[in-house]
A and B are shown apart, each in its own frame.
Chain A
Amino acid sequence: MEALSNQILVAVTFTFLAASVLYLCHWAFKSKVFGWAASGVTWAALGVLTLAIILRWVASHQMGIGHAPFSNLFESLVFFAWTIAAIYLIIELSTWMRTIGSFAVPLAFLSMLYALTLDPAIKPLLPALKSNWLIAHVITCFLGYAGFAVSAALGAMYLATGQAKDPASPRALVLDNLIYQTVVVGFILLTAGIVTGSIWANSAWGTYWSWDPKETWSLITWLVYASLLHSRFMRGWQGKRMAVFSLVGFGCVLFTYFGVNLLLSGLHSYATGK
């Protein structure tokens, strides 16, 4: 069952690639057919990905080392792709702006592609990782990260499609508002992720905060988005500035997620591929 799940994950990766290409075609040729095909393929990919994650969960229980599939870098990347696709599809359903898909769905593809380079074996959990707070921590963090990923995709789209030239146009206003909305969702979930992580650390080691590089970078990300929200609320920053800010913020998210593991060392060592 583990093997089946892994095969499905490979298939899903290339389904996301196909969906990305279809979204780009839809954007380039302004064709409705491509748009519907892109949405259909993305929905299918999300459905099958959900199945693969459930299969992986069941497989771990059959192996006698049952745990929720959110425990290492491989599993987090798969879940990251799932949340990006899910959040994007919700936005598509409420706005019908499929051009966003050209920016968001490739992120899901890249996340899956990175996962495929890692060891997919289901491994037993270290004693420190056996905690329901860990599951809550991973789920909230990655939902938050996905919110930021989609906001960055929207920011990139805002800049790439030249909305800054006419920031008062309805389309630019909708995009600007979506950037704000996704940042808010990401910010609340990142906060919840940091809090659940603290609760977990407190029950495992007796310290809710120890300034390890991963924790510190999550705080840096939090501070950057907190400044973004203050600049919007108090100074009325909009449009291009929001778009650029959302990209900078997502840069911090990416560093928190990958950069810390690759370049810095700390307590989160088990969140690496090894």
Chain B
Amino acid sequence: MSQDQPRKPMAERIWDFFASVKLSFFLLLLLAVLSIAGTLIPQKEGAAAYVRAYGEAGWRFISALGLNDLYHAPWFVLIMALLAANLVICSINRLSLTMRILGKDPVAEAGSMRKPKQSFTLPGEPASNLDKARQVLERLMGNSAQAKDGDRTVLFAQRGGWSRFGVYVVHTSVLVIMVGALVGNFWGYGGYVNIPVGSTVDHIILDNGQAKPLGFSLHLDKFNVAFYPNGMPSEYRSEVTFIDGGKPVQKSTLIVNDPAEYKGIDFYQSSYGNDLKAMEVELIRPDGAKQRLTLEAGKINELPGGAKAAIQGWRERVQMGAMYDGPVARILYQEAKGEPQAYTAFRPGVKMPQSGPMKFEIVKVQTEAYSGLQVKYDPGVWFIWVGCTLMVIGFFIAFYFSHRKVWLRLSPTGQGRTKLEIAGATNKNRQGLARLITRLSHELGGGPKKAE
């Protein structure tokens, strides 16, 4: 081999590799098998859960390969990209073939008749039967072309050539869906926001925990839960007002399955609950002295005498069998000149082990109801719906329409009669073609005789 020869064949080899159906077949089944793995290994759990299930070594293996988020692992995305490349290249390859098939000169095609499927004779010379034959053919199949073959005449017509594009519609739709997913991944974001009733928010918390300003604000006017007679919730409903530039611009009602949209950002009713506003607690010192304190949530409360206290966390209701049923709070307390110390507070009169020299008892909990909204901005979602629609349309074209060709050959038999032969070809649905040929032969006055 010379130095400059291998280059082109190499490119061609790569092209042919990507154009092959074997590769598509392999990639489709590979994606299927890998997807199975993703349903067997729990996805997006914390590291501890994997260590518990698979051991330390198992977790190292899983995290090295990205099996804990398999569908977003670089190699999984790479296989999808290969499938996309395969789709594009094999479609380009086939498209030139399709264009060649559709671009064939009808007169030339008339001259290359296939093997006849039916044959019979009609009274009269071919010339007297030609017009009727053409009429019948054109009524069923559209425009016809004509070719002479000695003293024989061949009529040719075809229909449904456009259906050969069905497969490209399907392949394009897959690519459009992939593009939609990419657009959503790069330019979209998702998050949530909890709005207390009667409050206004101007930012959301993204899935990665960061705050993101909306550029407008959202006021929760009303929140309501409706129940069925058996106590099951039947509807969650938030009534909100969008405020832009200081002015209320849009009122919307959010229920599950019916989100609201403002400036391309969608808000979904997703949860509800009670947020802590403030807590009234009793501080009991080791000598029995008591002190009433009101601690506000979400801040460090400066107390008389220089002490500080904050509520670290709380649960509205904790059930511990017969021992306890009520609210629990975790309070961080620091004397003016002491170290911070954490205390767990329960309702008064409960015997619980103490974690420090003092004791906190919960006297009153002040909460406010909030509505939890899922927030989504996904500029790619329209690609998805366009792709899905294209795919279904493409399936109907690809599966239920076919490119059919029919030839009629009229030859003189020598006794003032015409021998009429019918041939056909199709790219799929041979039974449909057989029915078409039978119908043609009936309308042309032939019997159901088969060609020899």
Q: Using a CB–CB distance below 8 Å, which chain A residues touch chain B?
A: 64-65, 123-128, 130-131, 133, 177, 184, 187-188, 191-192, 195, 198-200, 202-209, 211, 213, 216-217, 219-220, 223-224, 226-227, 230-231, 233-235, 260, 264
Q: Tell me whether A127 and B29 are in contact (CB under 8 A).
A: no
- CB of B55 within 8 Å of the partner chain: no
Q: When the two chains form their complex, are residues B29 and A224 in contact, meaning their CB atoms are under 8 A apart? A: yes
Does B229 lie within 8 Å of A64, measured CB to CB? yes
Complex alpha-carbon distance, A249 and B391, angstroms:
21
Q: Please state if A130 and B29 are interface contacts (CB–CB under 8 Å).
A: no
Do A127 and B39 form a contact, CB below 8 Å, given A191-B395, A206-B374, A230-B24? Answer: no
> How far apart sit A230 and B255, CA to CA, in the bound complex (Å)?
43
A124-B232, A223-B31 provided; 16 other pairs, C-beta below 8 A? A65-B228, A125-B234, A191-B395, A203-B268, A204-B256, A206-B259, A220-B36, A223-B32, A224-B32, A226-B28, A227-B28, A227-B29, A227-B32, A230-B24, A231-B25, A233-B428
> Which chain A residues border B431 with CB–CB below 8 Å?
177
Contact A191/B391 with A203-B257, A206-B376, A220-B35 known, Cβ cut-off 8 Å: yes
Residues of B within 8 A of A220 (CB): 32, 35-36
A227 to B22: give the CA distance in the assembly, Å.
10
Chain A residue numbers with a CB within 8 Å of B228 are 65, 124
B230 on the A face (CB < 8 A): yes
Interchain CB contact under 8 A, B31 and A208 = no
Q: Which of B246-280 contact A (CB under 8 A)?
A: 255-259, 266, 268, 270
A206 close to B257 (CB less than 8 A): no
Return the contact of A206 from the options B35, B40, B234, B268 (Cβ within 8 A): B268
User: What is the distance, in angstroms, from B377's C-beta to the closest C-beta of chain A?
Assistant: 9
B6 CB–A CB distance under 8 Å: no
Bound CA span A264–B38, Å: 11
Within the complex, the shortest CB–CB distance from B98 to chain A, in Å, comes to 13
Asked if B392 contacts A207 (CB within 8 A), the reply is no
- Residue B235 CB within 8 A of the other chain: yes
CA distance A209 to B383 in the complex (A): 14
Chain B residues whose CB sits within 8 angstroms of the CB of A200 once the complex forms: 257
Q: Tell whether B103 is near chain A: CB-to-CB under 8 Å.
A: no
A203 touches B388 (CB 8 A): no
Cα–Cα distance between A27 and B25 once the two chains are bound (Å)? 37
- Taken residue by residue from 1 to 40, chain B's Cβ proximity to chain A (1 for < 8 Å, 0 otherwise) reads as 0000000000000000000010011001101100110111
Contacts of B38 in A (CB 8 A): 211, 216
Contact assessment for A127 and B236 in the assembled complex, using a CB-CB cutoff below 8 Å: yes
Does B71 make an interface contact (CB < 8 A)? yes
CA distance A177 to B229 in the complex (A): 53
Q: Is the CB of A230 within 8 A of B395?
A: no
Minimum CB–CB distance for A241 against chain B, Å: 13
Q: How far is the CB of A126 from chain B (nearest CB, A)?
A: 7
In the complex with contacts A124-B230, A211-B71, A264-B39, A203-B259 CB distance below 8 A: yes
Residues of B with C-beta under 8 A to A192: 392
The chain B residue with its CB closest to the CB of A199 is: B385
List residues of chain B with CB within 8 A of the CB of A177: 431
B173 → chain A, closest Cβ, in Å?
A: 10
Q: How large is the interface on B (under 10, 10 to 19, 20 to 34, 35 or more residues)?
A: 35 or more
* Cβ distance A58 to chain B, nearest Cβ, rounded Å: 19
Most buried by A among B28, B71, B385: B28
Is B106 interfacial (CB 8 A cutoff)? no
Interface of A is mostly: helix
CB distance from B286 to the nearest CB of A (A): 49
Is A207 within 8 A of B32, CB to CB?
no
Residues from chain A with a CB closer than 8 A to the CB of B31 are: 223
16 sampled A-B residue pairs with Cβ under 8 A: A65-B228, A128-B256, A128-B257, A130-B235, A188-B392, A188-B395, A203-B268, A204-B268, A206-B266, A206-B375, A206-B376, A206-B378, A208-B381, A227-B28, A230-B28, A233-B428
Contact of B29 among A203, A213, A223 (CB under 8 A): A223
Q: Are A130 and B257 in contact (CB under 8 A)?
A: yes
In the assembled complex, which residues on chain B have CB atoms less than 8 Å from the CB atom of A217?
35, 39
Shortest Cβ distance from residue B291 to the other chain A in the assembled complex, whole angstroms: 45
Q: Which residue of B255, B374, B391 contacts A127 across the interface (Cβ within 8 Å)?
A: B255
B399 in contact with A184 (CB, 8 Å): yes
- Contact between A234 and B268, CB atoms less than 8 A apart: no
- Assuming the A-B contacts A128-B256, A220-B32, A264-B39, are A205 and B395 also in contact, with contact meaning beta carbons closer than 8 angstroms in the complex? no
Partner of B268, one of A126, A131, A205: A205
Q: Which residues of B contact A191 (CB under 8 A)?
A: 388, 391-392, 395
- Chain A: CB-nearest residue to B388: A195
Does B396 lie at the interface of the complex (its beta carbon under 8 Å from any beta carbon of A)? yes
Instruction: Confirm or deny: B245 has a beta carbon within 8 angstroms of a beta carbon on chain A.
Output: no
Q: Which residues of B contact A198 (CB under 8 A)?
A: 384, 388
**Chain B 310-352, CB within 8 Å of chain A: the 1/0 string?**
0000000000000000000000000000000000000000000
B305 sits at the interface (CB 8 A) = no
A91 to nearest B CB, angstroms? Answer: 14
- In contact, B233 and A230 (Cβ under 8 angstroms): no
> Which 6 residue pairs spanning A and B have beta carbons closest together?
A206-B376, A127-B256, A223-B32, A213-B39, A234-B21, A195-B388
